[in-house]
Structure 1
Amino acid sequence: MAYSVSSGSGPLLNLKLSEKRFRFHRFNNEKTQLLFFNTTKSYPTTHFSATFHTCFNSNYAVSSSLKGARLGFTAKAGAQEGYSSGEEAESLVDEANYQEEFSWFSVILPFLFPALGGLLFGYDIGATSGATISLQSPELSGTDWFNFGAVQLGLVVSGSLYGALLGSSLVYPIADFLGRRRELIIAALLYLLGGLITANAPGLSVLLVGRLLYGLGIGLAMHGAPLYIAETCPSQIRGTLVSLKELFIVLGILLGYFVGSFQINAVGGWRFMFGLSAPVAVLMLLGMWSLPPSPRWLLLRAVQGKGPVQELKEKAIVALSKLRRRPLGDKVSEKQIEDTLVSLKYAYKDQESEGSFMEVFQGPNLKAFVIGGGLVLFQQITGQPSVLYYAGSILQTAGFSAASDATRVSVVIGLFKLLMTWIAVLKVDNLGRRPLLIGGVSGIAVSLFLLSAYYKFLGGYPLVAVAALLLYVGCYQISFGPISWLMVSEIFPIRTRGRGISLAVLTNFGSNAVVTFAFSPLKELLGAENLFLLFGAIALLSLIFVVVYVPETKGMSLEDIESKILNK
């Protein structure tokens, strides 16, 4: 049971009541001092170096003798009679500074196989950039249905995104029932089926069906992957690993650009571009089949009354032991599961077992959705899908008229995107979320205005377009790219997390599909210079949103983040 203890100058202590003990944490220069009181004994005289007078503030029902009570004490470091001392005191200090011990080898596979869902999403972006050039070429398409209009081209490019939108809608009511593992297994099957159908399509209608099925896989994977990674990895590297999933999306984009650059001059090369996703989907399928369910999801099922508590608890212990490569019956895993179960029970105390759809739009849950949903919305409507899906076409209009030249410059952009993503991964848990978002979104706005200026004033300098694209993808990859999904995976309260993330993914793919589909017709209607000017104005609006609404979550546990949102 957690209490926020504060004085007029702000929070001084975090007080946790666990069975018969009060646990005091005092934070000073990032070092934690602990004192345990046994509630069954009278308190002995103590000597602290400073005196604190605090009040309990709690959202939990407590006895009248504690609620609102004033607590005053003085103490000095050192063991006293009636307090834990010696080896026990050392263990308590260890607990205060506790960070889960793990081997990097034990977290690789539980991260890698879900992250392949992101890689396949990115691959579709990169491959589509080259495939659209191949499909529209009378010489290279290998078909007699290559002559696409703007609307048909928009459907081909955005078809997978409409599938992702549909997948997000379908998974919304069943995500918590399926669980993260089964959701990712189904996603892998859809990736496999969609990739094979698209690659072997005899006509436009079948190609669109394949794109739709592939997109269904994207919708499920982009919902399940960040959840599985966030719930199975050690908390001290959660930000790094969830951000690394974005790195895998970028790796997929780069792989798609590479494949496109080698196949762009081959007749029917677009079939190979789309079909290469199939073997990766098989690897993801086999990998997720071999992994256990998320231990946290199992415990959530127990707390929500969706199954026998003891049975689900035992399954969670087995799952955590398997994830951390510990022997069955390992005491460390048992203790971690027990602690997490207690924490979740308190989080769900006096609450319904599961948040409803409407609850996401009420009170503090709405605040979480505004933050998470707002980030993924601005991630798309600042033009990101247009820049990536149409990179080859943009470069062709910027002076790189040969298809091979345009795709090779796309590879350079992809490499730069990868580099900037790696920088973001390394810095997200050091610099924090807000500084990277503010700096990155500012750069996005500048790059979009520069693209607009290129099309209006600087048409004779194609390197300006390349520089603007590099600036865009670089700033995107240290801001909206990794951090939006990281915030989505951690910002929602436990009770509405599954539903909230489903809605955020739905928002993301809905806006992505609209922007991607509308880019080609809007470019014809407004002209490229005015379209990128519009995207730049939206980027400025998104910067204001980040500054005003997005909190810093660096170094906070999921429970701490929830407490901050619910109680602020």
Structure 2
Amino acid sequence: MSPIAVPIERDRDIEPRYEGETADALSDEKTGGDYVSNLEATLDEEEVSKELQRLKEESDKLSGFSFRTHTFFKGGGRHMTLILGIFASIGGFIFGMDQGVISGAILFAPKDLSLDTGQVSMVTGFMPLGGVLGATIGYPLNEWLGRKLSIIIACLFYTVGGILQADAQNFAMILSGRIILGVGLGLECTACPVYISESCTKRWRGGLVSLYQFMICFGLFCAYIVAAIFVHVSGNWRYMLGSTLVFSSILLIAMLTLPETPRWLMRKGREGQSYKVWSIVRGFDTEEERQEFFVMRKTVERELEESKNRYVIMDLVRVHRCRHAAIFGTIIAILCQFSGINSINYYMATLMHEVGFSRVHAVYSSMIGSGTLLLFTIPAIYLMDRMGRRVLWLSLLPGVLVGCFIIGFSFRASNIHVEEGIYIWGIITYYMFWGSGMGPYAWVLGSEIYPTYIRSEGMALVTWWTYIGNFITTYCFSKMKRAMTAPGIFIGFYGGFVTIAWFYAMFMMPETKDKTLEEIDALFSMSMPDLAKHNWDNVKKTVDDLLHFRLREVWKVYK
């Protein structure tokens, strides 16, 4: 049976039910779900038009104000949205580059810097620890300074960290460079997906945030190419680690020419600027765009009013809607990291060397796995908004599990050539299904499941747990492999978490495809038992569809 042929389901559009709670009670919890639904149902086009005309007049007074740097992007619509998504996704490319280049550099740097095994683990694993710090400061910076400026500051950390790595003369320098680089990565990861999510239409949101994951994979692939280019050069690892400076400079220049997100500007009371950015990025040509802007504005106003004189971050604990999103986002981030992806990425060349490849051939062979990951991340960009987040996750995770089993069993082969062949087969299988099955989800879901007023805090939480998981699985990988053996860690540990991830999604993952950020508020206002029951009803319907070979009802692709 093919790994993809498993019971999955589309989201049956069942209205959310609030068990034991009235609409007034939910309003008191500041969920915003009923408010948004009622507002959308009673929108008056004449009222919307008058309000937009007022904002247009206000924005016209801002001519020349801080928008000079991107006036060549006039026109709005699809082209501007794509430009924003592509440039912001360069941050993902840098993330992938820094994951990949260390895999090749760590084969050569220890000899030049006289690093022992423990120091090698720290150099490899402490970059994610810096990412934890970056995610921590990402919350206040995103909230106070905005998404755009936070990305610019992240680029400055990239520059300092990249220079320290490339010019390292001892363990302290290269470790400091890795940690500072990690701070930049953590900060950038809290800002870039949210920047994309808040700037694009709901139809493209999943695909464009998935582009961020694609760029991570593309950066990973390019990192192995860079490693292969410099592998025979004296001081090869310095060129590998310093190569990311080129791309952080590109991102820095790009962000200086791009606008802040309209939602953040609206939250800061800069309505005229928000209108101006929306008109550049999205335009107001369609009724849908006009109404979405109006709903966004009213929702932000309500959230700001309700968040006065209190610590908003505590809503992640005390407000059901926010607490539900925080729990869900945290669990998804942890499950993605504990699927083993970063252990494979960071130690790709090392693992290749362990199964029999020479150091040089290990660097070359690493491109096979990273190229597979890159290729199979592309379907996620296309299908995320056409088939749905939940459908892809449940369909493809069994393939990730099969890849874990093949990798684990490769270490038991008696012949070195058989071991090499089975290992590469396992890596290809793993990356094929992980690329679209798990890859984009932490960023896509993390950027869309939180209310606007607490999205900075929520995305920081997702990024924080992402890097905690990254740190644990990379820094402890060598020790865990010795304690559990290679088959034990890939089959038992990583395979176990992939299995947990599949069952968790079956009951607790809602479908957010083709929903505005405000509509998602209503979805996460459901109680968790209600959501689990709703999802279980869908599972039973899907099983019935599979038994009667109604496959088009199970895997349906919308235009």
Aligned-residue CA RMSD (Å):
2.9
Q: Structure 1 residue 166 and structure 2 residue 133: aligned?
A: yes
User: Could you say which structure has the larger radius of gyration?
Assistant: 1
1:232 alignment partner in structure 2 = 199
The amino acid of 1:480's aligned partner reads M
Distance in structure 1 (CA, Å) of the matches to 2:401 and 2:520: 29
Q: Structure 1 residue 436 and structure 2 residue 410: aligned?
A: no
1:211 alignment partner in structure 2 = 178
Distance in structure 2 (CA, Å) of the matches to 1:128 and 1:385: 12
The amino acid of 1:157's aligned partner reads T
- What is the correspondence of 1:308-327 to structure 2 with a 5 Å cutoff? 312-324=270-282
Q: Structure 1 residue 112 and structure 2 residue 86: aligned?
A: yes
User: Deviations for 1:284-306, whole angstroms, at most 9, x for unmatched residues?
Assistant: 1111111111111011222xxxx
Q: Per the alignment, do residues 353 and 265 of structure 1 end up closer, same or farther by CA in structure 2, a change over 3 Å counting?
A: farther
Q: Check whether the contact 2:78–2:282 (CA below 8 A) recurs between aligned residues.
A: no
User: Deviations for 1:500-533, whole angstroms, at most 9, x for unmatched residues?
Assistant: 1111110110110111000012222332122212
Picking from 419, 425, 432, the partner of 1:467 is 425
Picking from 456, 478, 482, the partner of 2:412 is 456
1:427 alignment partner in structure 2 = 383
- What is the correspondence of 1:221-300 to structure 2 with a 5 Å cutoff? 221-300=188-267
Q: Check whether the contact 1:116–1:284 (CA below 8 A) recurs between aligned residues.
A: yes
How far did 1:321 drift? 3.3
Structure 2 residue ranges without an equivalent (≥5) = 1-12, 17-21, 29-33, 35-43, 50-74, 528-559
Structure 1 residue ranges without an equivalent (≥5) = 1-8, 13-55, 62-66, 68-83, 92-100, 303-311
Q: Check whether the contact 1:232–1:294 (CA below 8 A) recurs between aligned residues.
A: yes
How far did 1:347 drift? 5.2
Q: Check whether the contact 1:385–1:512 (CA below 8 A) recurs between aligned residues.
A: yes
Distance in structure 2 (CA, Å) of the matches to 1:390 and 1:115: 24
Distance in structure 2 (CA, Å) of the matches to 1:254 and 1:393: 16
Normalized per residue, the structure richer in helix is: 2
1:390 alignment partner in structure 2 = 347
How far did 1:337 drift? 4.5
Q: Structure 1 residue 127 and structure 2 residue 127: aligned?
A: no
Distance in structure 2 (CA, Å) of the matches to 1:479 and 1:458: 32
Distance in structure 1 (CA, Å) of the matches to 2:266 and 2:414: 59
Normalized per residue, the structure richer in strand is: 1
Q: Check whether the contact 1:398–1:459 (CA below 8 A) recurs between aligned residues.
A: no
- What is the correspondence of 1:163-562 to structure 2 with a 5 Å cutoff? 163-302=130-269, 312-324=270-282, 337-346=293-302, 350=306, 352=308, 356-362=312-318, 363-400=320-357, 402-457=358-413, 460=416, 461=418, 462-533=420-491, 534-562=493-521
Q: Per the alignment, do residues 158 and 354 of structure 1 end up closer, same or farther by CA in structure 2, a change over 3 Å counting?
A: farther
Q: Per the alignment, do residues 516 and 369 of structure 1 end up closer, same or farther by CA in structure 2, a change over 3 Å counting?
A: same
Distance in structure 1 (CA, Å) of the matches to 2:14 and 2:223: 52
TM-score (norm 1): 0.76
How far did 1:483 drift? 2.0
Distance in structure 2 (CA, Å) of the matches to 1:249 and 1:259: 15
Q: Per the alignment, do residues 334 and 554 of structure 1 end up closer, same or farther by CA in structure 2, a change over 3 Å counting?
A: closer
How far did 1:457 drift? 4.4
Distance in structure 2 (CA, Å) of the matches to 1:198 and 1:371: 36
Distance in structure 2 (CA, Å) of the matches to 1:11 and 1:326: 29
Q: Per the alignment, do residues 458 and 313 of structure 1 end up closer, same or farther by CA in structure 2, a change over 3 Å counting?
A: farther
Q: Check whether the contact 2:80–2:281 (CA below 8 A) recurs between aligned residues.
A: yes
Q: Per the alignment, do residues 441 and 361 of structure 1 end up closer, same or farther by CA in structure 2, a change over 3 Å counting?
A: farther
Q: Check whether the contact 1:114–1:221 (CA below 8 A) recurs between aligned residues.
A: no
How far did 1:364 drift? 2.6
Q: Per the alignment, do residues 353 and 567 of structure 1 end up closer, same or farther by CA in structure 2, a change over 3 Å counting?
A: farther
Q: Per the alignment, do residues 558 and 189 of structure 1 end up closer, same or farther by CA in structure 2, a change over 3 Å counting?
A: same
How far did 1:496 drift? 2.3
How many residues are treated as equivalent by the alignment? 464
Q: Check whether the contact 1:159–1:211 (CA below 8 A) recurs between aligned residues.
A: yes
Structure with greater contact order relative to length (CA < 8 Å, sep ≥ 6): 2
